[in-house]
Amino acid sequence: MVSKKISEMMGQFSPVNKKIASCVLRNYTEMGFTSIESLSSMAGVSKASIVRFSRTIGFSGFNELKKRIQSDLKKKLQPYEKIATTDLDKKTVGAQLQELARNEIDNLRKTLSSIEEEELLSWVRAIGKARNIYFAGFGATRHIVSLMQYTLSVLQRKPTWLLDGSISDFSYKIKLMEKNDILILMTFPPYSKEIEYIVRYAREKDVEVFLITDSVECPVYSQARSKIVCENNSLLFGNSFVGPIALIEVIGNFLILSEKELGMTEMKTLWEVEEKGYSLIDSQFEK
């Protein structure tokens, strides 16, 4: 997203470009419909400076920058707005399937290609060293983060806790947080207020926060020790979860590769437990 790119480049900007960048980020939702004259007035700089700023961040000029922001904003439409504005319903079933598939493949490609090696390894090391692992997610994201909890529980011999629901549903869990624990938080728009409380509490306990989200606009983005951004564009729903689910698979596989003996032992133990259980059930049916 343009907002992410601008935020990442902020430290490299000249004073004039910093003024423009700050103005763009503050008024991002209006930028897709703002004229160069209006932005010039708001930022207190010349139109030529706006053109130079656009080129500095990789665009041919302000018009291209504005079109890219419009594309970003379209992804943030509410589901009912996406349904109202789509023309997918006018296409053949084959064309619909192709466009939907292209969109999800694009989400997957962008998510996996944006992961930095050292960032990923920091997650694997932290998971390996943690005393307890807390997972947090709300709304639809709760189901995705519970999949991550299951995956890491299979591969690790340590307590894991799922934080969801209202504060009273998870307060008895987070009161046990200590310095050697980690919090893995997954959140996508609309961001729930509970995540802000959980992160604040975790930081008070010196618990490191690892964040999976969609952009720098996430309200707890700056408070996480490490963050992985997933492309979550859905053509009709609020969010797509193809990227986060693939990320869970990648992290699980890297955990196995980092400790092959432990991974093999835990998978073998799980298989034996399940085999005994199914054998017992089969014997009861035979009776």
Which CATH number belongs to the domain containing residue 243 in this structure?
3.40.50.10490
Indicate the SS3 state at residue 227.
strand
Judge whether 92 lies within some domain: no
Residue 262 has pLDDT above 80, yes or no: no
Summarised one tens digit per residue, pLDDT across range 65-105 is 988 887 777 777 777 777 777 888 899 999 999 999 999 99
Judge whether 260 lies within some domain: yes
Summarised one tens digit per residue, pLDDT across range 172-184 is 999 999 999 999 9
Cβ atoms 161, 105 nearer than 8 A? no
178: number of Cβ within 10 Å: 10
Judge whether 87 lies within some domain: no
- 152 and 263 in a single domain? The answer is yes
**87-91, 139-143, 210-214, 223-227: the lowest-pLDDT one:** 87-91
Q: In the predicted model, what is the mean pLDDT of residues 237-250?
A: 94
- 137 and 233 in a single domain? The answer is yes
263: number of Cβ within 10 Å: 18
Summarised one tens digit per residue, pLDDT across range 7-58 is 888 889 999 999 999 999 888 878 877 899 999 999 999 999 999 999 999 9
Find the length of the chain. Answer: 287
- 218 and 145 in a single domain? The answer is yes
Q: What is the pLDDT of residue 284?
A: 62
Judge whether 28 lies within some domain: yes
- 35 and 135 in a single domain? The answer is no
Residue 197 has pLDDT above 70, yes or no: yes
Judge whether 109 lies within some domain: no
Give the whole-angstrom CA distance, residue 34 versus residue 170: 44
Give the whole-angstrom CA distance, residue 222 versus residue 215: 11
**What confidence tier does 107 reach under pLDDT thresholds 50, 70, 90?**
very high
- 131 and 233 in a single domain? The answer is yes
Q: What is the pLDDT of residue 287?
A: 55
Residue 246 has pLDDT above 80, yes or no: yes
Number of domains the chain is built from: 2
Give the whole-angstrom CA distance, residue 187 versus residue 136: 8
User: What's the one-letter identity of residue 116?
Assistant: E
Alpha-helix runs per DSSP H in the chain: 2-9, 15-26, 28-31, 36-43, 47-56, 62-75, 79-85, 93-113, 117-129, 141-155, 167-174, 194-204, 242-258, 260-286
Say which CATH number the domain at 63 has: 1.10.10.10
**What confidence tier does 198 reach under pLDDT thresholds 50, 70, 90?**
very high
Judge whether 27 lies within some domain: yes
Alpha-helix runs per DSSP H in 114-235: 117-129, 141-155, 167-174, 194-204
The domain of 187 spans 115-271
**Residue 152: half-sphere exposure toward Cβ, Cα within 13 Å:** 29
- 119 and 256 in a single domain? The answer is yes
Judge whether 230 lies within some domain: yes
Give the whole-angstrom CA distance, residue 44 versus residue 109: 39
**203-212, 232-241, 258-267: the lowest-pLDDT one:** 258-267
- 120 and 40 in a single domain? The answer is no
